[in-house]
Chains A and B, each alone.
Chain A
């Protein structure tokens, strides 16, 4: 039998039982669509987090109080030990290090901002002029914090875009006086809208000099020290130097944790990559189930078409011809299902991207290839048994059965 004839025969046979065919195609397509959508979600999450971390700043090294043995986050440690606090002087001491370009101390807290009868809750970040360049924040209007002695704390503030909109509306914000907590500050700059940032929404952030923030929150400790290394290659060196310096300042006690962006990134990358893989594995199970369904459909088809198989043999069909015809039918079911599932999945992630534009929901290539491959392979593998059964039927017995 010619290939084109085999395919046409298989197609006619499949469309001859539309409901059964549609159901197994549907099962297969749901399996493939699940792989596409779930891996797009997993990989999207990975890309999203990695992207967010990258936007924290370039060549970033972060010092946080408290000891962590592994150099990563350790919540248990953070609770049990009472670390020595980080101070502005600690931060200042790091500015002299050779591998370090910039240092910004950071203290945070919540307060409220008031102007012209309007009032709202805000997040306050106390830092220095270096904060904006280290974090890659850009200004929409005005200027950043003044270059001044870190202990001075001029009464100025840089405000987020959303705060500006809500407090000032269409008025100019720069130059206006606002009340933050019990202080009166002058707005010197407005941040460019950045959308959702990791951990800190800059649109609802107010940045003030670190000394001012510390007196506002009645503290002399820091939340973090942000360090920008000279280059990517200098990140490790900056980390070691910072750790050594702080250890020396803290009487030889290594009571701070220094993390590099690379390490955090790598951890998240690995974690979310594994998650994507796991999700893909789960989706693959539905593909196997679909494969078994195809087998079931084909077995029913063989039983139902026993008389026809006997006839084909009487008309001179070889066992191979019959095997191929049934295998082609199984392959067709899974191929159409896989294709449909692929389109369905792509439509699904497209819709996801429309609804959540910040979320990069793209299925990774490997997942698409593996999904389609698994679908076709299971369809074929599970089609072999029914096809062989059909080819082995005894023609006389088959013809008698109607």
Chain B
């Protein structure tokens, strides 16, 4: 059973009189533990796909099965629970809460999920160590470098031990060297069994993935794994 199974996914946006087909008739299956890069020109629907996979958006047609369960019909609260426990997001612009410290930002998903403070502290301490942020625990985002911020964001994405990590251009705001570090971190996570889907414009980074999807006008133009 694949971790992700999309069939006949349509996502349309109405812009005035014209309808934009951000995703059109998309069929896709991703197995647990895969490392997938999503590439394609700007406006081809990469982010739309990722939002859909992360249950931040709903398709207009088609079905999405996550771990065998049809998740498009779930209530908003049930979807929130799935996001909380199964999915981690990494964004291009980090999306850290500016008034919270690195440790608090990392703990945020657990705080929202209502996990007890003691357990939170234990896991955050471990994550800080794993991501080389021990000495940055009490720093606020504006006191961190771009690479450190993205490491905090990745630590936050993994703190609930999700099955799936979705990263939308995670290195887009970083220089080559720090971008490299961040990719290494994500790949290490993948090596430990987490399914990783990365949207990227960087061919070099895309090439490191074991499977490349290229999108064009909301459709899969090529898939190195060739269908299901």
Contacts and interface: CB of A to CB of B under 8 A. Distances in A.
A1 B56 contact: no
B76 interface: yes
A396 B85 CA distance: 19
Contacts of B98: 16
B56 A9 contact: no
B38 to A, nearest CB: 16
Nearest to B94: A311
Contact of B80 (A13, A307, A317, A396): A317
Nearest to B100: A12
A307 B98 CA distance: 11
Contacts of A310: 95
Interface stretch (A84-92, A209-217, A263-271, A318-326): A318-326
A251 interface: no
A314 B56 contact: yes
Contact of A319 (B56, B77, B81, B112): B77
Interface residues of B, number: 27
B97 A311 contact: yes
Interface string A19-59: 00000000000000000000000000000000000000000
Contacts of B16: none
22 contacts: A1-B112, A2-B114, A12-B100, A307-B95, A308-B97, A312-B112, A313-B56, A313-B80, A313-B83, A315-B84, A315-B89, A316-B80, A316-B81, A316-B109, A316-B160, A317-B84, A317-B112, A318-B76, A318-B81, A319-B76, A399-B91, A402-B93
Given A13-B99, A314-B95, A317-B80, 12 more contacts: A1-B112, A1-B114, A2-B114, A311-B97, A312-B108, A314-B54, A314-B56, A315-B83, A315-B89, A318-B76, A395-B57, A402-B93
The 6 residue pairs across chains A and B that have the minimum distance between CB atoms: A316-B84, A16-B99, A316-B83, A318-B80, A395-B56, A315-B109
Interface of B: 51, 54, 56-57, 76-77, 80-81, 83-85, 89, 91, 93, 95, 97-100, 108-109, 111-114, 156, 160
